[in-house]
Amino acid sequence: MRRAARPLHPDSEFALSLRVFNTLTRAKEEFVPLTPGYVGMYCCGPTVYDHAHIGHAKLYVAMDMVVRYLRHTGYRVRYVMNITDVGHLTDDADSGEDKVARRAAAERVDPMELVETYTRSFFEDMDALKVQRPNIAPRASAHIPEQIEMVRQLLEKGFAYEVDGAVYFDVTRAPEYGKLSGRRLEDLEAGARVDVDPNKRNPSDFLLWRPAAPGHILRWPSPWGWGYPGWHLECSAMARRYLGETFDIHGGGLENIFPHNEDEVAQSEAANGCAFARYWIHVNSLTVGGQKMGKSLGNAIYIKDALKRWTPEGIRFFILSTHYRSVLDVTDDALAAAEAGVRRLNTALRLAEEAVAAGKDGQAGLGEAVEEARQRFHEAMDDDFNTASAIAALFDLARDVNSALASGTGARLEDLKEAVATFRTLAGDVLGLVRDDSAEADQELTRHLMEILISLRSTLRARKEFALADEIRDRLAAAGIELEDRPGETVWRRRT
């Protein structure tokens, strides 16, 4: 039965219903928004004290895909993603040092200068990866009054308590605490380390407002003295300001379910007296060659570096070829395979477009393949955004287009036009995998030529024809391209 409230896929007559895995219920559920046709969506944004790495790319490309698909199926989406520029504590929370404050002190810049630099850097990277900008990207530092107001409400309702200018959330006053992460308060308390903060009533209580001494570089006046908000608070306060007390989707990285998202739920539902986010979508992390990625582990890959080696569509394809709830392992082979995949889709699209431009009518038959690909694509995406299966459907269409055009009889013009529209809409608008820019085509060509030159040079070296091998290196250097020989491989870069 088709429900009036459910939007139809604009490019087809079949009304499929979207099902999403909701972390809150640990089940795939039919997605029914609060207001028909409209989706309010929030995602935890980056802490802007460094350049973004490919873990950020995985999270925000996945969220971008969700937003694009919702819009494709006819929803109006308000997508809010915050910028954490204050209040995100280091692992050593008790030191009271904020990541932003610490980095600003180390770089000897004003905290807002640091925040501005890395916020710009973040959006530069996201733009390059074709991640559409959120409708609103509110900054925590610009929403201190909203956060103070929420702390005040929590104190008034008896969910929080103040000790010497610090305000804590009392987890024992929230009977549902732990419902998002599936942790039980008893287990948390039993497993808690001996807490060094003697002001807490319970070990799991968390800071809503943290006092700051006069020397602290990020602080604001509040009813409890000078200080700054705890990290979790900003998402609750800004989601309420821009999406209302109850809204449809809250996204984020899997590693933030506890304590960050759990604390958001607890304080929002306590302050508002109603449900917070209705669907929680969590994106899994990635590994590098099977290892956990981290700055401290020395294997973090910045997006800016990844983009020197791979195309934006290649990186998107790589991320979307695995389900968003699965761990993704970064290897050169996997990225090379993703580049090949993107090429395959774009080549089929280009061939179909050239055939349409040539205007020669051919044999019928491709039409069914197009219709089937569309149906399979939507079925896959409606099944908790199964992008891997959706891409497989597009691959099959690419194969059918190629074989129809390679056959002597060609394809019907109308069918080819439909194939073009399907690639442009589904591979392009929804997944962001279609290359349009000729600059990108040039980049791709450069990459190919460099691969050829590097492999020629290593063949020459293996044959001990060093003069020729060196000539390749020297002439590239003269053209501004440097080669670096590493064990087992040669990498290239443009001289800056």
- Provide the binding-site residues for Zn ion, judged by CB under 5 A: 44, 235
Q: Which is nearer to Zn ion, 235 or 469 (CB)?
A: 235
Nearer to Zn ion, 86 or 235 (CB): 235
Provide the 3-class DSSP secondary structure of residue 221: coil
Q: d(Cα 28, Cα 119) in Å, to the nearest integer?
A: 34
Q: How far apart are CA 91 and CA 462, in angstroms?
A: 50
Question: Closest CB to Zn ion among 238 and 342?
Answer: 238
For every residue of 334-399, DSSP letters joined together read HHHHHHHHHHHHHHHHHHHHHHHHHT----S-HHHHHHHHHHHHHHHHHBT--HHHHHHHHHHHHH
Nearer CB in complex with Zn ion: 285/321: 285
Cβ within 8 Å of residue 60, ≥6 positions away: 43, 81, 126, 129, 131
CB of 235 to Zn ion, least distance (A): 3
Q: What is the Cα–Cα distance from 372 to 368, expressed in whole angstroms? A: 6
Q: For residues 81 and 306, which CB has a smaller minimum distance to Zn ion in the complex?
A: 81
Q: Which is nearer to Zn ion, 235 or 411 (CB)?
A: 235
How many CB atoms are located within 10 Å of the residue 308 CB?
A: 12
- Shortest separation between residue 12's beta carbon and Zn ion, angstroms: 36
CB 80, CB 135: distance < 8 Å: yes
Cβ-based nearer residue to Zn ion, 235 or 419: 235
290/477 Cα distance (integer angstroms):
35
Structure tokens at 251: 């996204």
Residue 127 or residue 255: which is nearer to Zn ion going by CB?
A: 255
Q: How far is the CB of 44 from Zn ion (least distance, A)?
A: 3
Tell me, what amino acid is at 184? R
- Taking residue 14's Cβ as centre, other Cβ atoms within 10 Å add up to 13
In the DSSP assignment, the letter for residue 246 is S
Shortest reach from residue 178's CB to Zn ion, in Å: 17
Q: Minimum Å distance from CB 43 to Zn ion?
A: 8
If you write DSSP's letter for every residue of 399-417 in order, what string do you get?
HHHHHHHHSTT---HHHHH
Q: How far is the CB of 241 from Zn ion (least distance, A)?
A: 14
**Which residue's CB is nearer to Zn ion, number 44 or number 86?**
44
Cα–Cα distance for residue pair 72/333, rounded to 1 Å: 32
Is residue 384 within 8 A of residue 21, CB to CB? The reply is yes
CB of 114 to Zn ion, least distance (A): 20
Cβ atoms of residues 436 and 442 within 8 Å: no
- Rounded least distance, CB 239 to Zn ion, Å: 8
Rounded least distance, CB 64 to Zn ion, Å: 17
Tokens found for residue 213: 């001494």
| CA distance linking residue 455 with residue 489, whole number of Å | 10
Indicate the residue among 252 and 312 with the shorter CB distance to Zn ion.
Answer: 252
CB of 107 to Zn ion, least distance (A): 25
Task: Fill in the DSSP letter of residue 364.
Answer: S
Structure tokens at 206: 């968390």
| Cα 100 from Cα 217, distance rounded (Å) | 10
What is the distance between the alpha carbons of residues 418 and 352, in angstroms, rounded to a whole number? Answer: 10
The residues facing 41 across adjacent strands are 79, 249
> What's the helix, strand, coil split of the chain in %, to 5?
50, 15, 35
Q: In angstroms, give the least distance from the CB of 236 to Zn ion.
A: 8
Q: Between residues 235 and 288, which has the closer beta carbon with respect to Zn ion?
A: 235
